[in-house]
Amino acid sequence: MEGFQRRFAELQALGARVVGVSMDSWAVQGAFSRELGLAFPLLSDWPNNRTIATFGVEAEAGPTARRVTFVFDAAGVVRSIVDDAKEMEAHPDGALAAVQSLVDGGS
């Protein structure tokens, strides 16, 4: 989330919307957002975890989700997925590159 906060102005300038989703409760999400000073919303998929299941990002090792970033185009079609558990900066960097590609006319 910190990487997305650092890239937020760049993403926003390209017309992108940034939203985080996790299995944590609303209270945990709110505290985390305030602690990091996030400029974008964090949504809770708790307690039913329907979004996590729909996108197939459940972690194998328990009741949590993998860290996966999805980039959608204006029509709601997934255009890029970043699924890197080790390199967290790959997520905001990959999202920025994908959004830039969409803006430049790529698909």
Return the pLDDT at 63: 78
- Give the pLDDT confidence of 9-26 residue by residue, as tens digits: 999 999 999 999 999 999
- Give the pLDDT confidence of 68-92 residue by residue, as tens digits: 999 999 999 999 999 999 999 999 9
Give the mean pLDDT of the chain.
95
For residue 20, the cross-strand partners are 42
Return the pLDDT at 88: 94
pLDDT band at 107 (very low <50, low <70, confident <90, very high): low
Determine which helix (DSSP H) or strand (DSSP E) holds 43, and give its type and residue range: strand 42-44
Closest C-alpha to 94, from 78, 77, 102, 82: 82
Return the pLDDT at 64: 86
Question: What token pair was written down for 38?
Answer: 């996030």
Q: What is the pTM of this model?
A: 0.92
Domains parsed from the chain with CATH numbers: 2-103 (3.40.30.10)
Counting residues of the chain whose pLDDT is more than 70, the rounded percentage is: 98
Residues with Cβ within 8 Å of 85's Cβ and at least 6 positions away in sequence, in order, are 66, 67
User: Any idea how long the chain is?
Assistant: 107
Determine phi and psi for 85, rounding to 5 degrees: -75, -20
pLDDT of residue 33 exceeding 90: yes
Largest CA distance in the chain: 40
